[in-house]
Structure 1
Amino acid sequence: MTDRTLKVALLGGGTVGAQVARILLDDAEALTARAGARLELTGIGVRNVDAPRDVDLPRELFTADAEALVEGADLVIELMGGIEPARTRILQALGRGASVVTGNKALLAQDGAALFDEAERTGAELNFEAAVAGAIPIIRPIRESLSGDRITRVLGIVNGTTNFILDAMDTTGAQFADVLAEAQRLGYAEADPTADVEGLDAAAKAAILASLAFHTRVALDDVRCEGITKVTAGDIAAAQDAGFTIKLLAIAELVRDADGSEGVSVRVHPTLLPRKHPLAAVHGAFNAVFVEAENAGSLMFYGAGAGGAPTASAIMGDVVSTARRLVQGVPGRTNTSTRDLPILGPESVTTSYSIGLEVADQPGVLSRVASVFAGHGVSIETMRQRIDGAGAQGVSDADAIPDGRAELRFVTHAASEAALAATVADIRNLDVVESVTSVLRVEGV
């Protein structure tokens, strides 16, 4: 045991904050032994001190004066979320040399550079394991364990809500809107699910992962983002028929530009994965991150991606690690970018596409469509055709093909994103093509 005490200020008393406070109070003795100092929770900064809490905590700990709480702390845990006042309070703490643990992915993706610069200026510690993938330890392995390796690619399922929705669509055949309603009823999705289903939450996490993996500052605006709202039951069924499943993936990778120079591509989009791929087996609201490095090879990190207790576990790992460094007098670790690689657009990416078309059911259509692919140098790997009228047996009205039309679905070999985009644009202009029903990217083939 030790006589040293570190004063800990907690900002935010919501689902995760309440669990962090519980751990700090209930496990005080064990935490003291692990950290080398007693962690004294001096207060919990909240907007409404009288609001109901998920955990029974001492009423006297709550305060609306977060500024004063931060001013007297050695270590600040920020779990308020959002940009302000979280940004102001973190900068306040770092500015006076207090270390910070945060799970605020949106703030890190938007203003991480300013926060890391302030931490470096004062020698404070800024840790953020819980900002990506909840309880899964992914930040620390990339930041420390793989720091002597060269990471070339990170891809993963980093949003539990969208994985729950796509997994349920895959297993039940239901439409997106129906599964979203069920996810909201079960508490997996917010009343306003925009950040999840439009991919914005995953994009913020992708920016953080890319910044760490490639030692280059990547902001949220650098991430190309596409959500899952356009994924239909027909897309899911076609993917199943071809041996794929659909996941919302965050992908960050090193790529070569047209002139051969190296850069970083970061994107979030619905993706077809072969069912044999490790990420295809991630079900429900779970998360998983796949890391590819030159020497370590392929690594996968899997676990609960959200929830009060799992996320609190990640927060407390950072708290103990930070406390140890404070006890030992070790300067805080920095996140200074060392490479400053350019952020490359989609035209620099090589990928495969799955393209769904509704076409006229007449001779010569397939050859005309195929000629467009060939004209752009895009090779077709597989093609499937379906013809059925509205109300056909085993086909829902939503997914039925009108009489006189057929559905074609192509999976291409890898090609440049620019060539594939041009192919889709020219196919749309064919008079025998009624509509392009879906365009999804394919990984892992």
Structure 2
Amino acid sequence: MTDREPPDEPTTATDRDGDPSSESTARAAGRFASRRSVLASVGSVAGALGLTRVLGVDRVLDPPEGTVSVETALVHPGPGDGGIDPSAIQSRTRTVPADWRARVEAAFDLHERLLATRLPGYLNSAVVPGPYEDGTARISIHASPDELGAIPRTIGELVSTLDIEWHGLFEGIGVRVTRTEVIDDIRDANVEREDHLALGWSIDPVPGGVRCQTGGHAATLTPALYDADGHPTFGTALHAFRDQDRFHGTAISVPIDGPPETETVGHASAALADSDVAIGTPANGHTPGSVLGNRGQLTIRGQLTRWGLADRVARGVSLAKVGGSTGYTMGPIHGIDAATCVTADGCRLGQVTWGNESTLGNGDSGSVTVDPDPAGVDGALVASVNSARTWWPGQNHCWGIAAHALTSAHGYHF
């Protein structure tokens, strides 16, 4: 792994005496939800009133100098032996250039407005933070070939089309438009499966990153997803359950080394359709584990925030995944806060796009992407849950719901 200086600073949550304090799972989930609501409100208000009313005249006309602190991750503390306490959450922060943060936040706001407007021919888009030293950001837009000419190609055209007042802060924000195609549905890549990614009898709690069966179809388990009360649940890709009418109660099973039969570890209990995530209630005495890999090699310590993802893009940090079919792969982040609207069943919001077409294979859906080696953390941090990958001309990446967006929408967290 590469050296990533400066490391994330360990604590932000403090009591009145300044001593580090932890937060409950429920409070952390609530903070995500309230932040998401505020950002959505900012996006719509900014379009109606202009960003001066929302962000402040001085900040908009003259990007700030110096540095500011952003929250990059929510981490479960624990001993070095891989144990975690899901009820305790510590915030991690990083000091970043103030002008970079201001422009990335402005790009987030513009992107919110773009999603609300849904221009003709629009199919998907994402925010791409620039390097810290540049203090820039970009909005990447993909459009259908027939309507490509209707999509703004400069930041000036974009803010004019969205009926937003022009301000100096937008000078550092770029726009990139690419043609793409509408597709019928999500499908996985057709790649060779590695059959050795099965569980041994001695593995419990059950790790993420292993192959599972969902009513006759293959997918990959996430590491433990904790509900708002801190109870561990299983997670995988919802689209792997092809018979949606019989979803509830469908067995989630995993292959075991040796015996030909699979072992049922849980039953489908909640369908999070907007996130393409299925939740499973543990069964037969099995417990979902905050570990990744068929032998539980990597401890999951928590998840990245929206600004944590932006930080990884700015520093060029690659993500990794462990899938039930193709195992361990790595790739760069292409966009965050992404909206994927290329399928006929509508848009998926809060996505992370990363890697390429060979990063994710058939049966890898439901796997998580992680920062496998974050500075100052004894384990990995989850970035997103993978849904699918491209296979059509014009795009070459994988996508899936960001962990922070999943928490914001449904309260589950890693």
Same fold at TM > 0.5: no
TM-score when normalising by structure 1:
0.19
TM-score when normalising by structure 2:
0.20
Structure (1 or 2) with the larger CA radius of gyration:
1
